[in-house]
Structure 1
Amino acid sequence: MPPDPSSHDVRSAFHREFVSPELWRTRIVVVSTAALAGLVVVGFTWLAESAFGLFERITGLAWWLPLLWTPLCCGGIVWITRRYARGAGGSGIPQVMAALDPMLSGGRRPRLVSLRLSLAKIGLTSAGLLGGLSLGREGPSVQIAAGVMLTARRWLPKGSGVSAHSLLVAGGAAGIAAAFNTPLAGIMFAIEELSRTPEQRNSGLIVAGIVLAGLIAVSVYGNGTHFGVIHPGPIGLALLGPGLLVALASGCAGGLFARLLLTSLRGVSPDWPSRMRARYPVRFAVGCGLAVAALGALSGGATYGSGNETTRGLLENEAAIPGAFVLFKFAATWLTAWSGVPAGIFAPSLSIGAGLGHDIALLTGYPHGPALIALGMVGFLAAATQAPLTAFIIVMEMVDGHSMVLSLMACAVVASTVSRVLSPPLYGALAAIQLPPRPPRP
């Protein structure tokens, strides 16, 4: 006879939740590892920003130095990645998503996510910023934190109920939370992109680990927003026309960006560049690095690095960007990813979207530019990743955009919908490339 669901033994429940030593050990291991993952991402952030600061000092010596330095860095990074850490290439999010696939055998998971790959990702991504490549550190932070969290398995008691799937989800989301200083966005990223089979018993513990990693970043960087506080002006009917134009334009641009990335990184096209990339990957990377440096020189240095400073300047009405900034940053980010270096696209996507919103504000004469810039940020990020809820919460937390909640949410949904017409989900398609071919159905 099945147990009565209305009955509840308080004494047994109390013993299970507060007295069991195995449960407390599980909690301590998961929470401690989450805190360590947050600290590692914070250290990675410092290293990456210091590396780009050094690159800026190099460019300050002579504008032409990146034409030599950036190609050498790009080629060297690809050579090291392919020889010693193949699993560290690219964004890092597709690797974590592939590692979560139930069809993947345990022996293949360390090729995608591990502590060794996390350490390699930290060094190689920082080297990319030292070379001035157009990349972000947020995607790599997902793989880095997931690799740290996965090491907790060796200390968990048997029968803890915390699976590798849960640790990977918690680690990946903790990486987003700590990298952006946005705990809510980390939780939404876990729900929208990573989690496929949530485990009810440990969901509270996993969320606690994600929040703790975000709080570690808050304790180091302070409780301020990443891009300050936005001043969007009045939110009314006057915003409707320009805002809709931003949503449609960012959806088209982000969808084309995702399609271009997917086509390039699959490497199945018969064109000459794809054949060159497959046969001479290091030489191809040197060529990509030279093109990125040339775009940086043409833009006055605006396209180098993640683009965070440009985004912040646009939001504060203090940045002077070239007229073709969106096109230059779009191309530089695509070439960086195509070269094969470890590189994220979150921060560059925000920068491209900010430039697009800025251009539309000038085109339409809308007097409150920061509102359209924020909409461009959320629209392009939602379209490129096809994760509208994550994009909406990330931007809202980064600019303290609570007064624009409905506008940001609507823009993310519209842009993501437009993008789905143009391209399949980017990370899901890239994750499928990481997996072995599935057996044919009978």
Structure 2
Amino acid sequence: MQHQHEPDILRNLRTELVDWRPWLDRAIVLAAAAAAGLLVVGFTLLTDQALRLFEKLWHAAPWALFVTGPLCVAAIVWATRKWFPGAAGSGIPQVMAALDTATPPPQYGLFVSLKLSLVKVLLSSAGLLAGLSIGREGPSVQVAAGVMLAARRWLSTRTVINAHGLLVAGGAAGIAAAFNTPLGGVLFAIEELSRNLNQRSSGLLIAAIVLAGLMAVSVFGNFTYFGIIHVPPLDWDVLAPGLLVTLLGGLLGGLFARLLIASTAGTADRFSAWRRQYPIRFAAGCALAVAAIGAATGGATFGSGYEHTRALLEGGEGTQHQPVIFVVLKFAATWLSAWAGVPGGIFAPSLSIGAGVGHDVASLMQQPALAPALIAMGMAAFLAAVTQAPITAFIIVMEMVDGHAMVLSLMAASMTASLVSRQISRPLYEALAELQLKRLEVVNAPEPAAPAAESSKNA
């Protein structure tokens, strides 16, 4: 049996102080994390401004949305397909594709880069200006990962911090800064992005995640994303409605994930053929349908759904919430927005749909006192079902609503809904990451050989 010697404190301290380069590497990583957090803060401010401008247009001239929306979305998709194909969609699948062992380091730029981060901020904000049902939280993962990866060029050759660690830390930092949920960011890194963080660098990378989150706190204050919910003492009365919310969230979330995978991959149906042949026109058609849905709901389905969800948690006053109808139409608007191919995420819209499910069940079972708890459970259940990352889902919701008193309820709802979803659909982001990896095959495909006749002529 080998004896393990105790660490030599003085020797280790001397080594740390003499070798200055590791300290510079750590400073570079932390500076990049701060920059990533600030860029996500800027992203938040820009999307808030875009939503305010949209609201002004909606109230001043509702008919104009049927013109400006399709035109704006057509321009976004045209620019994305022509110059920035790596910016399309959520952004989480791109980070997962970059982390895949099939992606060589020189081709990380196909999926994650500083240029894509800046473009993602602008195009996602433009999508919200057009009234699409998208969020900024998923894109924040790609945005922050791009900033962190850019720091790689400044690190020393013998650093233990590799590109994989920077991508994981950047993606998690994006979640932490976007939702102000540092613990959720760490769990997202472990559960969704990576299961093998380098032990020697994990402490530094977790510090980077927290620092990025602190950038948001320094600007917006130590806030909870959806405020603080007031939940009465939970007893057996919540079991039946809570189980119904969980099962509905799992079924709807699994269906949403399956639908999104199928529509993104393309099938043999007429609409997929139209999307392949005329992507710009198809995107404009999706935007027109989203505008019609928004008009039919009095504007409730436009945007990320943040204001609507917060209003439900605070008692439902001042909302355009129509039981059942809102959930169905928000589901459709979010799917159509994603199908259009614009840069934009589904985190916030998913939370809005889940909140609608919880609110509807509370109304159906005439349990208004339990509404805040059921809404939070619906948010966790639907998000867990869509992402099939239940631990991340319940931690994020718990931090967003300061729902520490509901830890066990949120955990049970997330785990059960994720299990139900797995019977319906593959994991969403994993499937979309596989579609992203197909771009590698196109880029690495050999040049077609010249025709024999043309070759002999040239000779």
Instruction: Tell me, yes or no, if the aligned pair for 1:35 and 1:216 is still in contact at 8 Å.
Output: yes
Q: Provide the residue aligned with 1:365 in structure 2.
A: 366
- Structure 2 matches for 1:48-197, cutoff 5 A? 48-197=47-196
Distance in 2 of aligned mates of 1:329 and 1:77: 22
Task: Say if 2:331 is the partner of 1:330.
Answer: yes
Query: Which protein is bigger by CA-based radius of gyration?
Result: 2
| RMSD between aligned residues | 1.4
Distance in 2 of aligned mates of 1:200 and 1:237: 43
Aligned-pair distance for 1:223?
0.7
Distance in 1 of aligned mates of 2:15 and 2:352: 49
Q: Provide the residue aligned with 1:265 in structure 2.
A: 264
TM-score w.r.t. length of structure 1: 0.97
Q: Provide the residue aligned with 1:344 in structure 2.
A: 345
**Structure 1 residues 341-376: Cα deviation after superposition (integer angstroms, max 9, x where no partner):** 001000000000000101001111113211111110
2:416 alignment partner AA: V
**Which among 297, 307, 312 is matched to residue 310 of structure 2?**
312
Distance in 1 of aligned mates of 2:205 and 2:126: 32
Aligned-pair distance for 1:282?
0.2
Alignment identity in percent?
A: 60
Q: Provide the residue aligned with 1:234 in structure 2.
A: 233
**Which among 275, 278, 303 is matched to residue 276 of structure 2?**
278
Q: Provide the residue aligned with 1:416 in structure 2.
A: 418
Task: Say if 2:318 is the partner of 1:321.
Answer: no
**Which among 391, 396, 399 is matched to residue 397 of structure 1?**
399
Q: Provide the residue aligned with 2:252 in structure 1.
A: 253
Task: Say if 2:45 is the partner of 1:46.
Answer: yes
Distance in 2 of aligned mates of 1:195 and 1:15: 33
SS of aligned partner of 1:107? helix
Deviates more, 1:217-226 or 1:284-293: 217-226
Deviates more, 1:298-307 or 1:222-231: 222-231
Distance in 2 of aligned mates of 1:436 and 1:261: 17
Instruction: Tell me, yes or no, if the aligned pair for 1:251 and 1:383 is still in contact at 8 Å.
Output: yes
Aligned-pair distance for 1:181?
0.8
Deviates more, 1:17-26 or 1:417-426: 17-26
1:78 alignment partner AA: V
Deviates more, 1:429-438 or 1:300-309: 429-438
Aligned-pair distance for 1:142?
0.3
Q: Provide the residue aligned with 2:457 in structure 1.
A: none
Deviates more, 1:40-49 or 1:62-71: 62-71
Aligned-pair distance for 1:172?
0.3
1:343 alignment partner AA: G
1:80 alignment partner AA: A
SS of aligned partner of 1:431? helix
**Structure 1 residues 373-394: Cα deviation after superposition (integer angstroms, max 9, x where no partner):** 1110000000001011111011
Deviates more, 1:428-437 or 1:291-300: 428-437
1:27 alignment partner AA: R
2:244 alignment partner AA: L
**Structure 1 residues 199-229: Cα deviation after superposition (integer angstroms, max 9, x where no partner):** 0000000000000001111111111211111
Distance in 2 of aligned mates of 1:337 and 1:330: 11
**Structure 1 residues 207-258: Cα deviation after superposition (integer angstroms, max 9, x where no partner):** 0000000111111111121111101222111111100110001000000000
Distance in 2 of aligned mates of 1:212 and 1:319: 35
SS of aligned partner of 1:319? coil
Distance in 2 of aligned mates of 1:188 and 1:16: 33
1:105 alignment partner AA: P
Instruction: Tell me, yes or no, if the aligned pair for 1:64 and 1:297 is still in contact at 8 Å.
Output: no
Instruction: Tell me, yes or no, if the aligned pair for 1:357 and 1:373 is still in contact at 8 Å.
Output: yes
Instruction: Tell me, yes or no, if the aligned pair for 2:293 and 2:329 is still in contact at 8 Å.
Output: yes
Distance in 1 of aligned mates of 2:11 and 2:273: 65
Aligned-pair distance for 1:320?
3.8
Distance in 2 of aligned mates of 1:20 and 1:116: 34
Instruction: Tell me, yes or no, if the aligned pair for 1:133 and 1:304 is still in contact at 8 Å.
Output: yes
2:126 alignment partner AA: A
2:117 alignment partner AA: S
Instruction: Tell me, yes or no, if the aligned pair for 1:176 and 1:186 is still in contact at 8 Å.
Output: yes
Q: Which runs of 5+ in 2 are unaligned?
A: 442-459
Distance in 1 of aligned mates of 2:414 and 2:6: 45
Aligned-pair distance for 1:438?
10
Distance in 1 of aligned mates of 2:18 and 2:304: 48
Distance in 2 of aligned mates of 1:17 and 1:184: 29
TM-score w.r.t. length of structure 2: 0.93
Instruction: Tell me, yes or no, if the aligned pair for 1:326 and 1:352 is still in contact at 8 Å.
Output: yes
**Structure 1 residues 61-100: Cα deviation after superposition (integer angstroms, max 9, x where no partner):** 1222211111111111000100110000000000000000
**Structure 1 residues 257-286: Cα deviation after superposition (integer angstroms, max 9, x where no partner):** 00000000011x110000011111000000
Distance in 2 of aligned mates of 1:33 and 1:437: 28
Q: Provide the residue aligned with 1:375 in structure 2.
A: 377
Q: Which runs of 5+ in 1 are unaligned?
A: none
1:322 alignment partner AA: Q
Aligned-pair distance for 1:9?
2.1
**Structure 1 residues 397-431: Cα deviation after superposition (integer angstroms, max 9, x where no partner):** 11000111110111000001100110010001110
1:75 alignment partner AA: A
